[in-house]
Structure 1
Amino acid sequence: MARSATELFSDPLDSQPLWFKPTAFHSPDFDPESYISELRAFVPSDTLRSHLHSHLSSLNRDLIDLINRDYTDFVSLTTNLVDVDSVIVRMRAPLLELRDKVLVFRSGVHGSLIALQDGLRHRSEAASARETIELLLDTFHVVSKVEKLIKELPTVPSDWSKDDAAPGANQSSTSNGVSMIHMDNGMNVRETQSMLLERIASEMNRLKFYTAHAEVPFSCSSIYHLQNLPFVQNMEKRIQNASQLLDASLAHCFRDGLEHRDENAIYNCLRAYAAIDNTSSAEDIFRTAVVAPLIQRILWHGQPALSPATSGDELENDYELIKQSMKEECKFLLDIASAENSGLHVFDFLANSILKEVLAAIQRAKPGAFSPGRPAEFLRNYKSSLVFLSYLEGYCPSRSAVSKFRGQTAYMDFMKQWNIGVYFSLRFQEIAGTLDSALTATSLKPLQQSSRDQRILTLKQSAALLDSLRCCWRDDVLILSCSDKFLRLSLQLISRYAHWLSSGLAARKKGAPGSHPGSEWAMSAAPDDLIYVLSDVHFLEREICGDYLGNVLGLLSSCSTEICNFVKESILQGGKLLKDVTPLITKAIVEALVDKSVEDLRQVKGITATFRMTNKPLPVRHSSYVGGILRPIKTFLDGERATAYLTADIRNEILQTVAIEITGRYYELAAEIVNVARKTESSIQRIRQGVQRRAGASSDTSDQNVSDTDKICMQLFLDIQEYGRNLSALGVEARNIQAYSSLWQCVAPPDRQNTINF
């Protein structure tokens, strides 16, 4: 069939694109993921999916066509199967024969496997039994060996255990009078005995391991410890007797070595104690034989005569004597126990012998030493105890040894005796109570002239605050472990003082002291008294943010940088709290001075009565009240207190503020007078004009060229000129005050409205 012109230059409708090759699916190593990833680079996913669906549809059609074409052959396939049953019977016979042979062979193999497993089990039980017998034999041999070694000791009295229990027994020499007898090899009896005891201890350790840790299989399903076997249980009495004899012999030898300071004997005895894991017995013997007598000698019999100012519960001198005695009587054992690679690090004679005995002796002889009821003595004893603990830690050979020492029960029991919380509570009441009693006074209490320093403080209340703040960080008060509590107390003291100031000034402003208890001082305080308050607040703010802060940071220099920064920020915040009160004090001074000035300023109202309805001529000089307006501020600034305690900046700030406030009040009064005068004059003028019109008289205004209002304004103008000169004399430029400019424009003649000149 002929094709159209468009079909000549395009792909057939049923043709596949060149990139789609169906033959690639027939390859044995076809990988769908790699196939798709290769085509994705240049074929869109939608296009690839559509062609794959088209190809699948084409394959389904071909399959259906193939089945339809050969359908008759498929249907007739079953009809070609002839005599199938006979074929199946012929094939079944050899298969059944093969199965029987396999079952017979399998049964034989299973029987052999069971026999082999039984043999292995019997072999394992025999090996376990042999191992058990060997362990039992080893245990028996060890017990016999221990008993034999104990009998070989140079001196083995049967009653050592009784002698050791008697506190008054004579243990200065070995039993039977044998002491310091040299053997052929040059060693004395004590050293030989200690070496033998160390050997016995190692065997006893081996025996304990057998009886306590060794496990033997009793059957296939259970395991027993060696100590549960009857054979071992029958030897239990022999083991206990051997252990008791070893403990008694070892204790006697160790005491003898301590008494004669035989380093070799002590070393061997300590190794023996370490071998049997009985370090507590060695520590107790050293405590009772060496430490207890010297502590008792110091705390009970070695007390020097006490001075009247010294309490009987002071521990500093006792600790010094204990340190000296330790160097003489304990150091040799501590050096042996802390020797490098000695294996004696399991002992802790510092905590379990020395510190434990010191604590018990103090509790018996000086129980009041731990009482915080006397804070000063308690603190001295506490700090002396910390120094003593530091001295003991000096005997530790490493940091790990120090950590171990601090983790001992005796160390923690010793630290629990010092009730730091109660001590701080007492100090809190003492320090805070002192400040609170000073602040509850009904008036300001200046310091005596002899003790007052113009560079420091002027009021007892301020001095009480500074003393309380310094007291928190004094050496005879502060405990570094409670530094956070003392910091909080310091901030509370500052806040209490600032609240005392602010509440008093608030009550002064309201004029109601009852609303703020403790504010009576502010109601009765004169401006000169507030100078003391202002000066003290400035000094306290500088002191707290300066030397006081440096002192606190110096005491906490061992803390981390983060903590020091937090402390610094907190104290600076306290200083800012005082700084924020300063404007309130200055405002109270200004208000008091303004109120005094206003008393003279109110005389300006008399000008109206002077010129109203009178024939007085136009005024030519200022009023007498003007000189008294600024007299309070001048007297205040020229006073001894302001000169001595206020800086030039503060004086100028007060002067400028007072001048602005007074001028504002002056303007309000003058403006009111002028407005009232003009309204009154206008009313009178209307009345006169009405009378003249009714009378038919001519209006003669020759006498009314200068009105009463003009006279009043002229008087006010002369007054404010004098007031401006007085301000200039104090150092205040009147032209720069907005209220003064308004006042000038209010009363000045029309020709002088725009020029302020006095």
Structure 2
Amino acid sequence: MSNKDFPKSYEKSRELCFDENEFLKDTFSVDIFLREHRNKASLEVMRDDLGTHLKSLRLSMIELINKDYEDFVNLSKDLVGLDNGIRKIQTPLQDIKNEVLGVKNELVEAISGFTSCLEQHKKITTKKRSLIHVSQVITCINKLKSIIGSCKGNHTDYSIDLIERATMEFNQLQFSLSKCEGDLQETQKKEAEVVSQKLMSILNNKFLECLKEKKSCELVKTLKMYAGLDKVNELELLVRQEVIAPKLATLITEEALQREPDGLSYVYDEIIYFIETELNELLLATSYKGAPPPLKGYNFMINSLWPELEKRLNLPLMFAPGNANLFHSRFTKSNEFLRKLEILCGSHSSIMKLRENRQYQYFIQKWNLPVYFKIRFQEIAGQLEKSLGEVKMGGPVSQLKSETAYYLKSSSVVIEQIKKCWRNDVYLPELSHMFWKLSLQILSRYRNWLTECLSKESDLLAKRRMELGTLQTSFGLDNFQVKSRLDFLVCLFSDTNTFLTEARTFLESSKEKIPNKHLVEEELSISLEESLGQVRETIPKMTDSIVNIIVSESAVHFRQVSQIPRLFRRTNRKSSTEPCEYIGQVLHFPKQFFEWKSNQPFEVLENWFTLAFNEMTNLFYADVNEVLTNAQKTEESLRKLKKKKENYPSKNSGDDEIRQQLVIDVHSFSDELQRFQVKKENIQMLKDLVELVETARNKSEKQ
């Protein structure tokens, strides 16, 4: 009953401190109600609200009674005499209950008796059936004895049809034996066991005979017999022990494996030949390679051949972990052998079963690929470091250009080691990611070596500049160390360009050897470009080093420009029509270098000399400008003195001769550039230099 069942008898003057519906809940508790509402209102307020609610309930009850008064009166009339009626029917009901219980007990007793009879009948039937099977066992044993005894010669006297009849009886015997349930006597059990052994011996011998003599039809029948007898595992074991094991024992020996380089190849070829000749009929009958539908349940490759093969191959010297060349040879040959075995499996599912076989995986794991790669890594890294460590800056350069595409032995060794990673007698597809990484590491090591060489060259250049500052040294190619340094840098420049081209071509082609290359094509290309790009970054630095040597050995003579005023000032020396000696000295080293390295590509030489003459022209311009500036200052000083002292002697100051000499020197320098096949327009300050001396001379003539 809810509040909706009570009429609303009055209007509340205010809201109560609790919800009226809480009293109607099934879970209502006085303690919980007080605990929840004592903090909402004081006890006095709660008491007043409860009293108000009680009055409301009373009024509602009175209104409800008044409203349904007629129903209450009728209900009270109907209940008069009801207890007497109940007492009247109580006794008949009890009698009916007793009768029902009696019938129930009789039914239970009848069912129990019937169940007992059924159990007894079942036992009799089972016993009877068991005895029938005992009789069948005896009959089958007698028939088998009769069939087996019909041929008293050797096993070859038994025809396939006779053996097939015997297996059918044997199958019936096996079934009857499983149904005898202990009623069979020990003598009968022994007779059944003896007959079974004789029959299996005959069947085994017949199978081996059919396999040896390649009787395909009879072989298929024997396989069906084994399958019908549920002897598939026994037959697979028989093939392993009687056919495969003896042959492999003669083929796989330590002596055979040690007959390198063809020992293992010979063994594997003989095994494949044995499978294709001796086991071919068996595999055709049980695999999907044969024309008829294969016999299911057999897997001689996995259950007969492979366990024995893995056992025989598991020799200490087989895997040769410490001999990289022997390991590679045997691993490659073993992989090729396994691929041939997989082809002989006949179907994809058989191949997958072979690969998932525990012994197959164990054989694969015996090949310690990380150790092999470590040995190869040490070989390659050792050769690389030895070659790179032999080079000394400033020492004699051993050139190989007549033998290889490289000038330096170090460069040749680097590309050789990259190629070695992918050589057929070194590379393994299973280690493709590691050999690719090693190739990139070699590129990185070459880049670092180039950087180290250029760093050492910078130190030698600084030291050489100090020597040139003292003028206590031989110049240009007459200095052995300078010649060696320059020779080394030119060879390094040429080798690096050749190396980049060859390395890119070779590694691009080597990517084809990587399994599933299409899945990582983008990553391979990106990593190769990054590594080659790092090597390529050293080429401009080599050019700078070559140019710096040319400039250092040549520009040192520009200091003689400052000596030109001494030749003409306060002297009666006439103007010269020939350039000063320093012009020839400045150009002497570039001429030597140009003739010495004329075998270099034209565009390379043009670039080097363009950069060198740009730098030298800048230095020449600075020295000439300084001399002209000083000459102008001297003229202005003399002009001022002449104004102050009218009788000041007007001797020849020689400034015109100085300017004229500079014009001759600059033009001679400019004309000589044609020898080096350098375009004058590419020498940025050359035009400014010519204008500088021409302007100075013309200005002087006007004055």
TM bucket normalised to smaller:
0.7 to 0.9
Residue among 359, 377, 387 paired with 2:310: 359
Do residues 482 (structure 1) and 431 (structure 2) align? yes
| C-alpha separation in 2, matches of 1:356 and 1:108 | 79
The residue aligned with 1:564 is: 521
The residue aligned with 1:627 is: 584
Query: How far off its partner does 1:429 sit?
Result: 1.7
Residue among 648, 672, 675 paired with 1:700: 648
Structure 1, residues 474-493: CA drift from partner, whole Å, max 9, x if none? 22222111111111111111
| C-alpha separation in 1, matches of 2:284 and 2:226 | 17
The residue aligned with 2:200 is: 250
Distance of aligned partners of 1:378 and 1:581 in 2 relative to their CA distance in 1, 3 Å threshold: same
Residue among 573, 598, 606 paired with 1:643: 598
| C-alpha separation in 1, matches of 2:256 and 2:606 | 68
| C-alpha separation in 1, matches of 2:433 and 2:659 | 69
Query: How far off its partner does 1:714 sit?
Result: 3.7
Distance of aligned partners of 1:721 and 1:384 in 2 relative to their CA distance in 1, 3 Å threshold: same
Q: How does 1:365-380 map to 2 (within 5 A)?
A: 367-380=316-329
Query: How far off its partner does 1:685 sit?
Result: 7.4
Residue among 528, 544, 554 paired with 2:512: 554
Residue among 170, 177, 187 paired with 1:200: 170
Distance of aligned partners of 1:290 and 1:663 in 2 relative to their CA distance in 1, 3 Å threshold: same
The residue aligned with 1:345 is: 296
Q: Indicate the percent of aligned positions where both proteins have the same amino acid.
A: 23
Distance of aligned partners of 1:136 and 1:491 in 2 relative to their CA distance in 1, 3 Å threshold: farther
| C-alpha separation in 2, matches of 1:627 and 1:721 | 13
Structure 1, residues 502-542: CA drift from partner, whole Å, max 9, x if none? 2211221234999xxxxxxx998432332222222222211
The residue aligned with 1:576 is: 533
**Which has the larger displacement, 597-606 or 82-91?**
82-91
Structure 1, residues 436-495: CA drift from partner, whole Å, max 9, x if none? 21111134753456524xxx2222112212222222222222211111111111111122
Do residues 656 (structure 1) and 647 (structure 2) align? no
Q: Is the 8 A contact 1:600 1:628 kept in 2?
A: yes
Query: How far off its partner does 1:303 sit?
Result: 5.6
Q: How does 1:261-660 map to 2 (within 5 A)?
A: 261=211, 263=216, 266-275=219-228, 278-300=231-253, 311=260, 314-338=263-287, 344-363=295-314, 367-443=316-392, 446-448=398-400, 450-452=402-404, 456-511=405-460, 525-546=484-505, 548-556=506-514, 559-612=516-569, 614-639=571-596, 642-644=597-599, 646-660=600-614
Structure 1, residues 682-726: CA drift from partner, whole Å, max 9, x if none? 67877x57xx96xxx53536336x564x54444333321211111
Do residues 724 (structure 1) and 682 (structure 2) align? no
| C-alpha separation in 2, matches of 1:606 and 1:635 | 26
One-letter identity of the residue aligned with 1:566: E
| C-alpha separation in 1, matches of 2:551 and 2:377 | 43
Query: How far off its partner does 1:748 sit?
Result: 3.5
| C-alpha separation in 2, matches of 1:611 and 1:205 | 134
Query: How far off its partner does 1:286 sit?
Result: 0.8
One-letter identity of the residue aligned with 2:595: D
**Which of the pair is proportionally richer in helix?**
2
The residue aligned with 1:38 is: none
Which runs of no fewer than 5 residues in structure 1 stay unpaired? 1-70, 159-173, 182-187, 212-230, 515-521, 754-758
Query: What secondary structure, in the 3-state scheme, does the structure 2 residue paired with 1:630 have?
Result: helix
Q: Is the 8 A contact 2:571 2:654 kept in 1?
A: no
Structure 1, residues 125-177: CA drift from partner, whole Å, max 9, x if none? 9989988987787677667756754554358999xxxxxxxxxxxxxxx9964
Distance of aligned partners of 1:88 and 1:195 in 2 relative to their CA distance in 1, 3 Å threshold: same
Query: What secondary structure, in the 3-state scheme, does the structure 1 residue paired with 2:398 have?
Result: coil
| C-alpha separation in 1, matches of 2:520 and 2:611 | 43
**Which has the larger displacement, 669-678 or 462-471?**
669-678
One-letter identity of the residue aligned with 2:556: E
Q: Is the 8 A contact 2:141 2:191 kept in 1?
A: no
Distance of aligned partners of 1:312 and 1:711 in 2 relative to their CA distance in 1, 3 Å threshold: closer
Q: Is the 8 A contact 2:397 2:484 kept in 1?
A: no
Distance of aligned partners of 1:380 and 1:78 in 2 relative to their CA distance in 1, 3 Å threshold: same
Q: Is the 8 A contact 2:210 2:219 kept in 1?
A: no
| C-alpha separation in 2, matches of 1:356 and 1:415 | 13
CA RMSD between the two structures: 4.7
| C-alpha separation in 1, matches of 2:635 and 2:95 | 150
Which runs of no fewer than 5 residues in structure 2 stay unpaired? 1-61, 464-480
> What TM-score results when the alignment is normalised by the length of structure 2?
0.73
| C-alpha separation in 2, matches of 1:719 and 1:536 | 38
Q: How does 1:142-157 map to 2 (within 5 A)?
A: 145=136, 149=140, 152-153=143-144
Distance of aligned partners of 1:79 and 1:355 in 2 relative to their CA distance in 1, 3 Å threshold: closer
Distance of aligned partners of 1:81 and 1:533 in 2 relative to their CA distance in 1, 3 Å threshold: closer
Query: How far off its partner does 1:119 sit?
Result: 8.6
| C-alpha separation in 2, matches of 1:682 and 1:274 | 125
Distance of aligned partners of 1:449 and 1:153 in 2 relative to their CA distance in 1, 3 Å threshold: same
Structure 1, residues 86-124: CA drift from partner, whole Å, max 9, x if none? 343256766888899999989988998999899999989
| C-alpha separation in 1, matches of 2:565 and 2:105 | 140
| C-alpha separation in 2, matches of 1:83 and 1:325 | 110
Query: What secondary structure, in the 3-state scheme, does the structure 2 residue paired with 1:369 have?
Result: coil
The alignment of Structure 1 onto Structure 2 pairs a total of residues equal to 614
Q: Is the 8 A contact 2:283 2:300 kept in 1?
A: yes
One-letter identity of the residue aligned with 1:86: K
Query: What secondary structure, in the 3-state scheme, does the structure 2 residue paired with 1:291 have?
Result: helix
One-letter identity of the residue aligned with 1:528: D
